[in-house]
Amino acid sequence: MEVVPPELRLAVFSFVTLALLFAAWALRSFLHARRLQRQRMQLLDEVGLLQSALLPTLPERLGSARVSVAYRPADGPAAGGDFYDAVELPDGRVAFVLGDISGHGRQALARTAFMRYTLRAYLEAGLAPRAVLDIAGRVIGESLDGEFATTLVAIYDGRAGTLNFACAGRPPPVVIAAEPFDPIVLGSAPPIGVGARTGVRQTTVPLPPGSLACLYTDGLTEARVRPGEVLGRARLERMLARLPRPASAERLIEQLARTARINDDIAVCLIEPEAPVAAGSFRIEEIELTREELDGPLVLRFLAACGVGAEEARALRDEARKVARQAGSAVVRAVLGVRTTASVEPSNRIDLEAAVRVRGRRIA
């Protein structure tokens, strides 16, 4: 009987062990590759859902406005919550929504889709931007489960040549026009979902032919142009002023990407009015305050920022207090033109139950 030398048995055992280890490694690599492929397909599904549900394809013209939109996701493994929307209203005006919900992935997508369609329904029901955010803060805010949402709601009126907008946790739009627009952000509403009132401020600015309005999310102005320095609003204004017409949102983002580092999702909506109207040179600033808020300094600071004198501002505050005692809150309106005029009127807060049943259907 032939005896296998111990050295050969050891060599065979080592070879078999090595083969088994290699097979196990190959199986592990195969399973890992399949898992990565599934994750990739899941990511593609999320991005597809984002594109179809949150970033609609818009026509080049809505009403009497030329519209250009673009979205650029930041590098990362999941879809974010930036969104935009635009719809022509029955009376010929055009409504715009642009915002961002905190968080990423499927939950952020679901919340963002809910928010986009709810805001659209309120706008189609005829609500003004400030009223839309007021209702959204009370209805949508409860569904965010600890997250928050920033949004800007705007309505372009081609017959009047104006852009009427309200913000919740977002900066006002950049407007490039013959007459500079210096936004008054005092008293601006916080994001939806933080437990504070959102339908507080509303602004109306002229938007004549030849002007350009830019609605954007934070990823645009927070792009890093150099270490420790972001693009900012002033640089964005200069970029928009140099942008060839008709303005392209995609071109704007491409220009930025060539010279800056983009760390967050970017959504941009550009509005170019084409209605041949002679828009006025005035703008309207509004703020709604409750009885308790009228006892604080905000109303006087707001009126001072609008150019109202101290004595007139105190008289308007007293009038607003009287109105608020009966109506619960009052709207202080300042018209800024050659001279500033201000007035007070009762607020018209919309019943919450009525708001969630627009056109006979529950939407929230």
What pLDDT is stored for residue 275 in this prediction? 80
What pLDDT is stored for residue 178 in this prediction? 84
Q: CB neighbours of 155 closer than 8 A, spacing ≥ 6?
A: 89, 93, 94, 95, 96, 123, 128, 129, 163, 164, 165
Mapped onto helix, strand or coil, the DSSP state of residue 100 is strand
CATH code of the region 55-281: 3.60.40.10
What pLDDT is stored for residue 174 in this prediction? 96
Q: What confidence tens digit (pLDDT) does each residue in 4-25 have?
A: 566 666 666 666 676 667 767 7
DSSP 292-360: HHHTSSHHHHHHHHTT--HHHHHHHHHHHHHHHHHHSEEEEEEEESSS-EEEEEE--PPPHHHHTEETT
What pLDDT is stored for residue 57 in this prediction? 85
What pLDDT is stored for residue 333 in this prediction? 97
Whether pLDDT at 356 is above 90: no
What pLDDT is stored for residue 139 in this prediction? 86
User: Is the preceding omega at residue 246 within 30 degrees of 0, hence cis?
Assistant: yes
What pLDDT is stored for residue 244 in this prediction? 95
What pLDDT is stored for residue 39 in this prediction? 64
Q: Which of 355 and 30 is assigned the larger pLDDT?
A: 30
What pLDDT is stored for residue 13 in this prediction? 66
Whether pLDDT at 357 is above 80: no
- Enter the tokens of residue 173: 């739009």
Whether pLDDT at 363 is above 60: no
If you average pLDDT over every residue of the chain, what do you get? 85
Q: How big is the chain by its Cα radius of gyration, in Å?
A: 27
Residue-level length of the chain: 364
Whether pLDDT at 78 is above 60: no
Q: What confidence tens digit (pLDDT) does each residue in 164-203 have?
A: 999 999 999 999 998 878 888 888 889 998 888 888 999 9
Query: What 3 state SS string does 246-258 have?
Result: CCCHHHHHHHHHH
What pLDDT is stored for residue 77 in this prediction? 45
Whether pLDDT at 335 is above 80: yes
Decide: 303 and 313 in contact? Cβ < 8 Å.
yes
Alpha carbons 297 and 302: distance in angstroms, whole number: 9
What pLDDT is stored for residue 360 in this prediction? 42
What pLDDT is stored for residue 340 in this prediction? 92
Decide: pTM greater than 0.75: yes
Q: What confidence tens digit (pLDDT) does each residue in 260-287 have?
A: 998 888 999 999 999 887 767 789 999 9
Task: State percent of the chain over pLDDT 90.
Answer: 54
The candidate with the shortest Cα–Cα distance to 267, out of 86, 134, 120, is: 86
- Enter the tokens of residue 29: 């690599």
Largest CA distance in the chain: 120
pLDDT-derived band of residue 75, with 50, 70 and 90 as boundaries? low
pLDDT-derived band of residue 338, with 50, 70 and 90 as boundaries? confident
Highest mean pLDDT among 70-74, 223-227, 268-272, 334-338: 268-272
Decide: 80 and 105 in contact? Cβ < 8 Å.
no
Q: What confidence tens digit (pLDDT) does each residue in 310-330 have?
A: 999 999 999 999 999 998 999
pLDDT-derived band of residue 53, with 50, 70 and 90 as boundaries? low
Q: What confidence tens digit (pLDDT) does each residue in 233-263 have?
A: 999 999 999 999 999 999 999 999 998 998 8
Q: What confidence tens digit (pLDDT) does each residue in 106-164 have?
A: 777 778 888 888 999 999 999 999 999 999 998 888 778 778 999 999 999 999 999 99
